[in-house]
Amino acid sequence: MAILEVSGLCKTYPGFTLDHVGFRVEPGSIMGLIGRNGAGKTTTLKSILNIVHPDAGSIRYFGLELIAREREIKQRIGYAGGAVDYYKRRKIADLLDVTASFYDSWDAAACRKYLDAFSLDTQKTPAQLSEGMRIKLNLTLALSHHAELLILDEPTSGLDPVSREELLEIFLALRDRGVAVLFSTHITADLEKCADGITYISRGKLLASESLPAFLARCAETGAGRNLDEIMVHFEKEDYRERLA
Amino acid sequence: MKDLLKKDLRLTVSPLTWFFLAAAGMTMLPGYPILVGAFFVCLGIFYTFQNAREANDTLYTVLLPVRKRDFVAAKYVLVCFFELLAFAGMALLTVLRMTLLANTAAYVQNALMNATPFYLAFVLLVFTAFNVCFLGGFFKTAYAFGRPFFAAAVLIFLLIALGEALHHFPGLAFLNTPGGERLGVQLAALAAAAGICAAGTALSCRVSMARFERIDL
């Protein structure tokens, strides 16, 4: 059974339409959601978290409908939209205490383990942390209740190369423990290092959703490119010289 | 709900909200439109909403395993908690003014509203105006609170003007007697205001829940 199954997801904003996007995330796998800026990645993630309301489509976690079983599902997933950007002036200890009270399966020992592993000082506030450390704090919050699926929106954007590498290692370690990870990014090199599958959205439409090796092989065969960077440029590049002429 | 309330008290509530509760003490001021104290209590609550928006409280909360309607209900309960604290203080001070201090010259000669059950009724109407206009307006977007607060403030100052004017109308001077005259009528007015406040707030909460379910955050 897929841990997350999305089908026919549609959402229309003035000037933008997310058009029948669908994909599956299997347990213990890393799925990359790629597309250029404004392609619809964040709208997709917000839709699957019920932050925005899709016009159509089905979203099922663990075989359960999101809208009908939202509370139960959110006990089992974790979301980190990049760095912590809430309650930035409150102590991390307070933030952890409050967050813990909402989860039945909050594991204080696991939380302590992540805090130690990420060298997070609970007496500090998020405002006192670097971008990379705030992402790690978000991961701690998301993982301390034993989330089976971690959803991240552009977690590596704005990070230095070392922090990005560390974060990817964390994803791989989580995958080894059976946690599924869905993360959006436009930094394709990150995906080539860790993703099992890829969902590619272009201008609101689903271009591909399959295993990464199969996608790369198919694109190489058709001459679309040998790596994700080349493939994205192949599909997305617009001729601005002609437009501006 | 209990966890949401604890979260708000621990993370979201602005210190200014607690500070402005002291405005309940304005009940003791002679020669001052004491209903303005109820407005200041509302202003204090407004600062908590400002704090919450700056702290991205809405997004943090909706990502927790809670129902969206519970998020809205918790905000209403939080507001009512502060209003009840303020009202309890105002009621105690009103009793003090109507009993031990009823013959104090400053209150006997007070041209403006005295602390009476009728005053407390208007305090509840001010809170109703705030709960309906501000909270109801805020949950149209869960973001924009300037216009809802302005609308609430306009309505509140109209209510204050009405409250201050009524006892000058022929036959209504009893509303302002420091010791409390025709207490039965005044208490009936207070009970009616309590009913309006409870019904208005409950209705506003229901509408806000429905609105909040529909908006895209």
Annotated domain spans of chain A: 26-52+75-244
Distance from CA of B204 to the nearest CA of A (A): 22
Q: How far apart (Å, rounded) are the C-alpha atoms in residues B44 and B146?
A: 14
Would you say residue B179 has pLDDT above 90? no
Which DSSP string do the residues of A127-189 spell out, in sequence order?
Answer: GGS-HHHHHHHHHHHHHTTT-SEEEEESTTTT--HHHHHHHHHHHHHHHHTT-EEEEEES-HH
* Alpha carbons within 13 A on the beta-carbon side of A70: 17
Residue written as token pair 């002429």: A245
Structure confidence by residue, pLDDT tens digits, A211-240: 999 999 998 888 888 888 888 888 887 666
Q: What is the pTM of this model?
A: 0.89
Domain boundaries, chain B: 2-214
pLDDT by position in tens, chain A (length 245): 889 999 999 999 988 999 999 999 999 999 999 988 888 888 999 999 999 999 999 999 999 999 889 999 999 998 887 666 889 999 999 999 999 999 998 999 989 988 988 889 999 999 999 888 888 888 888 889 989 999 988 877 767 788 788 888 888 988 998 999 998 887 888 888 888 999 999 889 999 899 999 999 998 888 888 888 888 888 887 666 666 66
Distance CA A133, CA A135 (A): 5
Given an 8 Å threshold on Cβ–Cβ distance, is B62 in contact with A50? yes
Instruction: Tell me which residue of A233, A180, A154, A215 sits closest to A25, measured CA to CA.
Output: A180
Which tokens sit at A164? 């990005």
> Can you say how many angstroms the Cα of residue A44 is from the centroid of all Cα atoms in its chain?
10
Smallest CA–CA separation between B28 and chain A, in Å?
36
Cα gap A2→A152, rounded to integer Å = 18
Angle at B193 (CA atoms; ends B192, B196), nearest 5 degrees: 90
- Cα–Cα dist B61/B79, whole Å: 17
Are A106 and A142 in contact by the 8 Å Cβ rule? The answer is: no
Mean per-residue pLDDT for B111-127?
Answer: 93
Q: Which positions in chain A have a beta carbon within 8 angstroms of at least one beta carbon in chain B?
A: 46, 49-53, 70-75, 79, 81, 85-90, 94-95, 97-99, 101-103
Residues A209, B82: Cα–Cα separation, whole Å: 51
Q: How many beta-carbon pairs under 8 angstroms link A with B?
A: 61
Q: Which residues of A touch B58 (CB under 8 A)?
A: none
d(CA A169, CA A76) in angstroms, rounded, equals: 22
Q: Note whether B141 and B119 are within 8 A (CB).
A: no
- Report the distance separating Cα B155 and Cα B83, nearest Å: 17
Domain A26-52+75-244 has CATH 3.40.140.10: no
In percent, the amount of chain A with pLDDT more than 70 equals 95
This complex has an ipTM of: 0.85
- Cβ–Cβ of B217/A94 closer than 8 Å? no
